[in-house]
Amino acid sequence: ARTEKVGKVYRAMRTYDGLVTARVLGISLVFDASWIVVRYLIALALGVRLSVWYFLLFIPIISLVTLVPISFSGLGVREGAYVYLFSQVGVEAPTAISMSLAFYGLRLVGGIIGGVIYALGTRTYFGRAEE
C-alpha cells in the first residue's frame, strides 16, 4: 500500500514540467529563508549576538520538531527545542523562550490581521476584484 502511494506521488511529479518544479522549489526556499532572517532579527533585537549560520542550522530542526502533534500549535515543544538548541551556543533559556514566543506572536498577529482583512474586505484575485 505504501509503495503504491509513493508510486502515485512519483507519477504525479513526473507530469509537471521540471522548470516549473524548480521555480516553485526556489520560491519555497526564499520564503523559508526569509522566516529564518526574521528570527535572526528578533534575536538581535533581544540582544543575542550569534552567527546567522546557527539559525540556518537550528530553525529547520525546530520546525520539524514542532510538527510532532503532541501540543496545540507546537506550543511548548517549539520553546523546548529553542532552549535545547540555542543553549548549546550560549543563549540563556529565558532569552531562547522569548525568541520563540516573539516569532510565534508575530505570525499569530499577522495571521489574525490577514484573516480580518479577508473576512471583511473585497476579495481580489491577481489584482482584480471578484464580481
* Residue 20: pLDDT band with limits 50, 70, 90: confident
How many domains, in total, are found in the chain?
Answer: 1
Note the helical H segments in 2-122.
2-14, 18-45, 52-66, 77-87, 93-120
Query: Helix, strand or coil for residue 125?
Result: strand
The better pLDDT of the pair 74, 58 is held by 58
Q: 35, 94, 45: which is closest to 66 by C-alpha?
A: 35
* 36-63 pLDDT tens trace: 999 999 999 999 999 999 999 999 999 9
Q: Give the model's pLDDT for residue 96.
A: 98
- Dist. CA 101–CA 107, nearest whole Å: 10
Mean pLDDT for all residues in the chain: 89
The C-alpha cell at 60 is 529547520
* Residue 125: pLDDT band with limits 50, 70, 90: low
- Name the residue range of residue 36's domain: 2-129
Does the structure show a pLDDT above 90 at 117? no
